[in-house]
Structure 1
Amino acid sequence: MDAWQYIVLLGAVVVVFAIILPKRTGSSGASGQSSQNMETALEQFMENMERDNEELVELVKSSQQSNRKEHAVFEKRISELELRCQELDGQLQAAATFIKETAASRQAAPAPHSTAAKALEKNETAMEQPTSPHSIEARYGELFTLYREGKSIESIAKKLGMNKGEVSLIIGLAKQEGGVHG
């Protein structure tokens, strides 16, 4: 039983005792007036309790509705983020495949004999180094500094204002490039 039901039951018991008690004692009309006042007060109390309970029920209903709406919004957002993660994963895999194919084609190419070919090879080696302006690590220096400090991908993404998938993709590409260990 709820608390309000106990209160109503207690009020009914008090009303019954108030009606019976004056008859037993044989009191005059003054006690009848006080019992009538008590009945009126109890009726008002019960009406107030009912009104309060109705307001509480409405409040609970409205909060449930708002929770359902928020839940639907969150579910939609989660599904969109999952799709975005799948897209980024596909891009990461495509980039990794491209890097592997490029590395394999470089290994399969015949060794250069001319001076121009040696200079070209030297430039390619310089581009692969993390300090090269074309390397991933050079372009995202702050990201890799935070990553080496042991920060999580979520905290890096928050600090730099990026998506977690984007941070994961950059780190994955850098690992493929050979510039980051961790």
Structure 2
Amino acid sequence: MTSFGEELLAVYDNVHERLLARLDGLTDDEYLWEPVPGGWSLRPGDDGVLRAEKTEPDPVPAPFTSIAWRMWHIGVECLDVYVKLAFDRVPVGVGGWPGEAAVRPGGGAEAIAALDAEFARFRSRISGLDDAALARSCGPLAEEIHVFTYLGLMFRAIDEATHHAAEIALLRDLYRHREVSAA
């Protein structure tokens, strides 16, 4: 019999693999493409360092976001923050791409590698939990993101990654068709 945790990891791995497949061939131009004015993306600050645009709380309605921003969101605001809140028990704000306080990947290939690493890091932490541990509280800091158990955290990671992966896939389709119709 397969455990709940093993089934959830299989779904998580499938979402990860499908996203990586949809990112295959991502160009730097496409990564930073902004199909509408006034959206959020990654922008260089006065120091030249690329950072994700973000305000707290999110404006309503939320601005349109680029592929770069969405990849940052999955990697940092979701997977990295989940590890920090639920496993490391560290309060976090909007932080940098893991390992580099404020630096964001400026190109498609580097961003794919960074996102892939975050998927692996989250998986390594959650895969160590058996079904009983998945049912336990992941601590009061995770309540900030309305998650109470490790099982809930796993569902949230799958939901966020799936949601934004679908948006990224759609943006890639629009970009490809934009290029064809402009030729």
Same fold (TM over 0.5): no
**TM-score normalised by L of structure 2:** 0.28
Larger of the two Rg values belongs to structure? 1
Structure whose residues are more often helix by fraction: 1
Higher relative contact order (CA 8 A, sep 6+): 2
